[in-house]
Amino acid sequence: MDLEKIFPTEYFSKYSLVTFNENIGYNEAMKRGRAQDKALLNLIADNDISTSLEMSIEELEIVLRKVQEETNEILKGLQCLEGEQLDPNENRCLPCTHYGLVWDAEHKVCKTMLKEEILKDLLEKYNSLY
């Protein structure tokens, strides 16, 4: 299907999301890309969309809409809680600490703790004890 070619601002392959999209982080891109792949496979398996190479723009628009709707439904079921991130291999949310990461509440992502942040965190804990 030519979804990405025909609708370059509405459909992005997983590869494009991960490689070329600066607006979302890698984890979010992988999550969206995998949900979209799963949506496509579900729709094909259920014969809800055609995989013909000779589709009109109107037929591709219908496919695009169905893929977007199915992708959104899948993503609704994959929302992680604060302090967690989606593990794409296990297809479930795991705490940041599982990866040796910390939760960045400001940006709502798991991240590595920088040396300065570790020292600051230790100093705050130390000061709170005394």
- Rounded distance between C-alpha atoms, residue 8 and residue 29, angstroms: 16
Q: Tell me how crowded residue 60 is: count the other CB atoms within 10 A of its CB.
A: 19
Q: How far apart are alpha carbons 120 and 59 in whole angstroms? A: 57
Q: So what's the pLDDT on residue 1?
A: 56
CA angle 110, 30, 92 (to 5 degrees): 65
Residue labelled with tokens 């600051």: 120
Q: What is the pTM of this model?
A: 0.60
What is the chain's pLDDT, residue by residue, as a tens digit (130 residues)? 589 999 988 998 888 888 887 777 787 888 888 889 989 999 999 999 988 888 999 999 999 999 999 998 888 777 787 888 877 677 778 898 888 888 888 877 788 876 677 777 778 888 888 7
Retrieve residue 51's tokens. 């995989």
pLDDT of residue 89: 72
What is the gyration radius of the CA atoms in the chain, in angstroms?
20
- pLDDT at position 115: 66
Residue position matching structure tokens 């490689």: 19
Q: How many residues does the chain have?
A: 130
Look at the alpha carbons of 17, 18, 23, 26 in this order and tell me if their dihedral is positive or negative: positive
